[in-house]
Amino acid sequence: MARILVTGARGFVGSHAIPILLSHGHEVVTMGRSAPTGDRRGKEQWVSCDLLSEGAASHLIASQQPSHLLHLAWNTTPRRFWNDPANLDWLAASLRLFRAFAHHGGRRIVGVGTCAEYDWNCSLLSEVETPIAPRTLYGAAKAALGSTYALAAASEGISFAWARLFFLYGPGEKQGRLTSDLFATLVDGQMARVSHGRQERDFMHVADVAAALVALLESDVTGPVNVATGECRPLADLISGVAAAIGRPELVRFGAVDVPVDEPPRLAASTLRLREEVRFTPRFDLRSGISDTYRWWRTQSDARNNRPAD
């Protein structure tokens, strides 16, 4: 059992990771501006903290003394986050967090990066072979943090792993992203205007992402690790799968939205390290993941309409 501090615990990934950590018997500390509610309340230790405030990280670590850190917190406002200046604020806050963690004897960190750190001119993105060449401020800030953490961790004798997430979907996803917008649109019986859908991506259910992060945190694997399924499929497969689950394929209009000229045709993840070193295998394939997500969306829709779910 470890004493684990989780930042960003109420976010898309964090909300799925916390129950897993608790079920594994860990002592879990979460922090944020507002207290958790619902089923998890009372099962984790929550601390009021705004990491962007000067001195907040130092006080948090000094008071809680975690042995492990899962750092998820970042600004990921849909559409805006790619080049939001707030990325610089989170980079600075994350460096302060590391200093405090190291100063108070922390032993292991798993930080969360992104496939947007890689050179997207490469169709297969590998931790070992693919150059780091981000196109966005978000990717650049994450790449800078990951490389700085790696050097600082080696200097301080801290075990460090850097999880590069690919494309996520699943229950709890905010609208403003492809999958969540598809569900919201089609569940309401509205027309979904999409691109041709031939772009290939690796989509992973958020519950699998959270489980992979927990497995990585509990392991002794260090360095960058891609968190993805290893199965790269056309966006049309995801879009058609969502429409089929809802039973409204006639509402999808492929080719109604132009694809940006610089959009990569294929972004595939090498998952060798995740499979062979972390020894993690996803539970969901695309079909079962879409079905699970649809059940959640139906529950949300039924609650809004004040009717019991089937």
DSSP codes, the chain: --EEEEETTTSTTHHHHHHHHHHTT-EEEEEESS---GGGTTTSEEEE--TTSTTHHHHHHHHH--SEEEE------TTTGGG-THHHHHHHHHHHHHHHHHHTT--EEEEEEEGGGB-TTSSEE-TTTSPB--SSHHHHHHHHHHHHHHHHHHHHT-EEEEEEE-EEE-TTPPBTBHHHHHHHHHHTT--EE------EE-EEEHHHHHHHHHHHHHS---EEEEES-S--EEHHHHHHHHHHHHT-GGGEETTSSPPPTT--SB-EE--HHHHHTS----S--HHHHHHHHHHHHHHHHHHHTT----
List, for residues 6-49, the tens digit of each pLDDT value. Answer: 999 999 999 999 999 999 999 999 998 877 666 555 588 999 99
CA trace torsion 12, 17, 18, 21 (10° rounding): -170
Do residues 102 and 30 both lie within one domain?
Answer: yes
pLDDT class of 310 with cuts at 50, 70, 90: low
274 found inside a domain: no
In angstroms, rounded to a whole number, what is the distance separating the alpha carbons of residues 198 and 178? 14
Looking at the structure, tell me whether residues 83 and 183 fall in a common domain: no
pLDDT band at residue 283, thresholds of 50, 70 and 90?
very high
Least confident of 76-85, 129-138, 158-167, 201-210: 76-85
Give the residue among 98, 156, 106, 73 at the shortest CA–CA distance from 3. Answer: 106
Give the pLDDT score at 303.
Answer: 65
Q: Which residues pair with 108 in a beta bridge?
A: 68, 159
What is d(CA 174, CA 170) in angstroms, rounded to the nearest whole number?
10
**Token digits for 111?**
């930080």
Domain with residue 100: its CATH number is 3.40.50.720
- Total of domains in the chain: 2
Look at residue 16 and tell me if it is in a domain. Answer: yes
The answer to whether residue 119 is domain-embedded is yes
Domain limits for position 48: 3-168+203-227
115 vs 273: CA distance, rounded Å = 15
The tens digit of pLDDT for each residue in 199-214 reads 999 999 999 999 999 9
**Domain match, 211 and 296 both:** no
In a domain, 275, yes or no: no
CATH of the domain at 236: 3.90.25.10
pLDDT digits (tens, 9 = 90+) for 211-258: 999 999 999 999 999 999 999 999 999 999 999 999 999 999 999 999
Question: Is residue 273, in this structure, part of any structural domain at all?
Answer: no
**258 and 209 in a common domain:** no
Beta bridge partners of 111: 71, 162
Same-domain status, 190 and 60: no
> Does residue 310 sit within a domain?
no
Give bridge partners of residue 269 from the DSSP assignment: 125
- One domain, residues 181 and 223: no
**240 lies in the same domain as 291:** yes
Q: Are residues 128 and 104 in the same domain?
A: yes
What is the pTM (predicted TM-score) of this model?
0.95
Is 30 in the same domain as 131? yes
Asked, for residue 272, whether it belongs to a domain, the answer is: no
| 191 and 150 both lie in a single domain | no
The answer on 182 and 214 residing in a single domain is: no
Assigned domain for 95 exists: yes
131 and 179 co-located in one domain? no
